[in-house]
A and B are shown apart, each in its own frame.
Chain A
Amino acid sequence: GNSVTQMEGPVTLSEEAFLTINCTYTATGYPSLFWYVQYPGEGLQLLLKATKADDKGSNKGFEATYRKETTSFHLEKGSVQVSDSAVYFCALSRANAGGTSYGKLTFGQGTILTVHP
């Protein structure tokens, strides 16, 4: 079945440090890949996505590239801010239409990021 593995957390960084959160996946076919962010007390929000190999998703200074050869979708940001402190989830969704699981998101376990001033 489909699965997503994220790097163990929590991750603690100083402001303006470089961020990498690793994500690898197992899936049949070519899924779409996502990063969601959950700020304290809020619901999950889509941060960025990529729907095919070599696509780069980007938003708010965050980037992730869909690497089919390494089945990875690592999240990066060049300079983190205190406001980036949140839980980050990597997820995949089957891309082929049809079937009851179409649209189902499979999530990793989440990585807690804390950024200190």
Chain B
Amino acid sequence: KNEVEQSPQNLTAQEGEFITINCSYSVGISALHWLQQHPGGGIVSLFMLSSGKKKHGRLIATINIQEKHSSLHITASHPRDSAVYICAVVLRGSQGNLIFGKGTKLSVKP
């Protein structure tokens, strides 16, 4: 069983739709990252959170430590949001090493 599970694996949405990507983990963590990777591109950190909720523009990330679950929401989605979104956790007690989910491929159609 993977320690970090994301759902869905693939997601197709129409422009303007509200999108949710989920991440569940089975290990104790110090923090959780949401990363974005555009096709052929590098990896950008969107959020790092250890509790509660963070918002940046149209993106919102939440985490529930007790339930070991995090969500990434995109409001008013746009074709430029098309990318792979990766959840990564910082394993508690480690040297800050990351364990990654396999990613969610999002395609937003105009």
A and B: partners? no
